[in-house]
Amino acid sequence: MEESNHMNLSECPFENNGSYLPLRCASQNSLDESSQKYETQSTGREKPPYRNHRHTHRAFDALNMMRKQSRMCDITLVNNGIEMPAHKTLLAACSPYFYDRFANRDDQGLGRLTVHGIEPQALKLLVDYIYSSEIYVTEGNVLILLPAAKLLQLKDVSDACCEFLQTQLHPTNCLGIRAFADLHGCSELLQRAEAYTEQHFMEAVECEEFLSLSSQQVLKLVSSDRLTVSSEEKVFECIVTWVRHDIDERKQYLAELMEHVRFPLLSHEFLVQRVRLEPLMEANIQCKDFLVKALIYQLLEAKGDKDITLEMQNAIPRQPVCSPKVLLVAGGQAPRAIRGVECYDFKEERWYQVSEMPNRTCRAGLAVIGGKVYAVGGFNGSMRVRTVDMYDVASDSWMSCPSMEARRSTLGVAVLRGCIYAVGGFDGSNGLRSAEMFDPRTQEWHPIALMGTMRSSVGVGVLKDILYAVGGYDGASRQCLSSVEAYDPDLDSWTPITSMSVRRSGAAVGVLNGLLYAVGGHEGPNVQRSVEAYNPETELWTPVAEMAMGRRNAGVVSFNGLLYAVGGDNGSSNLSSLEVYDPERNSWTLLPFQMSIGRSYAGVCVLDKPM
């Protein structure tokens, strides 16, 4: 009986995971075996086959050229009125989706196949990928590309999309990416987005995305034992804010959500003065019960009762799984502009050096987006610059980014809605009222509205989607400033707000627990030890504990519920010391771990430690 050399079309050449299995006919196998035997007999050893690694690339390039010229194409893909010629065999070889449809004769022998459920742009990109093995995943196409790749079962592309979205995780979008991953069944991306949200809970709940979550999504979030929060107050307040956003519809979920607040861990003052007087709590009997039990628990604990009979599961502190963090300090004046960069490992309590900046830099600002550190503007020792350099933590390397429109040193830099804002500064001749914004998605800088006042040596911070420009120096009036302006990105406008109690140029600005802190600075020769905090709810500045020493041109960052003041100068020498502010104790403590060199005008930020 003659052995058939034809493949049985009923046998699918895909494994369960969608990868392609190359098939060989029996006669070819026999030929290969006989050739191997002959070679073994004649040479005594097997000779490897000749292999041309460029052959497949040439073949695919030729097929792609024929597709673009509509030559020898035997199928036309139809999507929303757009037609794309292609080759059946190649589509079927690369995509289980196409293989199944052609095997089921969905084209009905007419040479046309309608593809539903995919955006035309995504289909075109994926067909291009099938022929070329290349595709560019961008923020502009990833949201249409991922579901399309899932439908066509192009696993490599869907994995590339998920990896791209992981790099884009930010407090302003992590909830949206989490929902997107859940919708499209991307389990690894979903886990990463959930972990990121838990680690950045305090920032994430300040964003608009939080208010649009369903009750079950909020419940899953606040019930997590892995939330990174400085205090349970934040959990309580975010639930109240979410319910008030649509109170008639959402008040029914209040008790179910409040059950997961660790009330016994709240301070007695907060329970009595805030929780007890909250109208939503007063109107709900079950919520009142949570409050009473918490107060009883605290009373028994204060009496030293070792046998607290109340079953208070919510008296156990959360156990967050945090990525190790480092404090990065870049450049600075010591006493000239320097290139050196060092990191402080919070867990190991030690400093270590990393790659130097490309150029000597001081008086720049740092911003962190997607795990990348951007050093914006500054002074290189001879001139003010508009350049921007980006530090990749994973590769420990620096690279250039698009420059700003204006030269700026002693500027303020902050991140708002995933974009970098460069505010005020000095261009070498004049102080600046101008500000500009960098969108990392388009890699472009755009000017925004002018401030009301010229501000160099200005501090900036972001609270609830509002950017604050704090103090600085007005070159026109030649005076240090106590005034503050707030920028609303929706209106593209600056508005004066309550002034600080003292004038501060070169003050460091930090954000902690919903408050904006102005730390140190100077007025003329007087270097400040004082610190004050602005509450946007009351629109008031309130003095807090003074630092151990006066600091101007320092850096400030917040981490794990504490505020760190880094370096700066005291009017006569640069400082290598750090001190930390604990808002619960209202006190500053000098740390014993100093930088390797005194740095004034350095850029500082906190970011994930590379693993």
Q: Which amino acid is at 505?
A: S
Which H or E element spans position 223?
none
> For the chain, how are helix, strand and coil distributed in percent, rounded to 5?
30, 25, 45
Q: Which CATH number fits domain 52-167: 3.30.710.10, 3.40.50.2300, 2.40.50.100, 3.10.450.350?
A: 3.30.710.10
Task: Quote the tokens at residue 32.
Answer: 């290969």
Neighbours of 223 (CB within 10 A): 15
Residue 30 has pLDDT above 70, yes or no: no
Rounded Cα–Cα distance for residues 530 and 548 (Å): 10
Rounded Cα–Cα distance for residues 196 and 588 (Å): 30
More confident site: 610 or 355 = 355
Is the peptide bond preceding residue 335 cis, with omega within 30 degrees of 0? yes
Give me the pLDDT at residue 139, please. Answer: 87
- Nearest Cα to 576, choosing from 334, 304, 253? 334
Residue 20 confidence class, pLDDT cut points 50, 70, 90: very low
Compute the average pLDDT of residues 255-282.
94
Residue 38 has pLDDT above 50, yes or no: no
Strand partners, 342: 329, 353
Backbone angles phi, psi at 467, to 5 degrees: -100, 130
Architecture of the structural domain at 213-315: Alpha Horseshoe (1.25)
Give me the pLDDT at residue 301, please. Answer: 79
Give pLDDT tens digits for 97-152.
999 999 999 988 899 999 999 999 999 999 999 999 999 999 899 999 999 999 99
Q: Is 331 left (phi over 0), alpha (psi -120 to 50) or beta?
A: left
Give pLDDT tens digits for 490-516.
999 999 999 999 999 999 999 998 899
Rounded Cα–Cα distance for residues 102 and 565 (Å): 65
Q: How far is CA 11 from CA 14, 46, 92, 446, in A?
A: 9, 32, 13, 57
- Nearest Cα to 377, choosing from 449, 432, 447, 427? 427
Give pLDDT tens digits for 470-480.
999 998 889 99
Give me the pLDDT at residue 44, please. Answer: 52
Compute the average pLDDT of residues 295-319.
73
Give me the pLDDT at residue 25, please. Answer: 36
Give me the pLDDT at residue 324, please. Answer: 79
Rounded Cα–Cα distance for residues 428 and 529 (Å): 29
Task: Quote the tokens at residue 318.
Answer: 């959360």
Q: Is the dihedral of CA 86, 92, 96, 99 positive or negative?
A: positive
- Nearest Cα to 483, choosing from 424, 428, 564? 424
In this prediction the pTM is 0.57
Residue 265 has pLDDT above 70, yes or no: yes
Rounded Cα–Cα distance for residues 108 and 376 (Å): 60
Residue 355 has pLDDT above 70, yes or no: yes
Residue 140 near residue 146, CB atoms below 8 Å: no
Residue 199 has pLDDT above 90, yes or no: no
For 139, residues 6+ apart whose C-beta sits below 8 A from its C-beta are 168, 441
First to last CA, the chain: 63
Neighbours of 80 (CB within 10 A): 11
Residue 213 near residue 175, CB atoms below 8 Å: yes
Under CATH, which number does the domain 325-608 receive? 2.120.10.80
Q: Where are the domains of the chain?
A: 52-167, 213-315, 325-608
Residue 176 has pLDDT above 70, yes or no: yes
Which H or E element spans position 283?
none
Residue 451 near residue 485, CB atoms below 8 Å: yes
Give pLDDT tens digits for 212-221.
999 999 999 9
Q: Would you say how long the chain is, in residues?
A: 611
Residue 307 confidence class, pLDDT cut points 50, 70, 90: low
Residue 275 has pLDDT above 70, yes or no: yes
Give pLDDT tens digits for 582-607.
999 999 999 999 999 999 999 999 98
Give me the pLDDT at residue 181, please. Answer: 95
Compute the average pLDDT of residues 397-402.
95
Give me the pLDDT at residue 588, please. Answer: 97
Residue 313 confidence class, pLDDT cut points 50, 70, 90: low
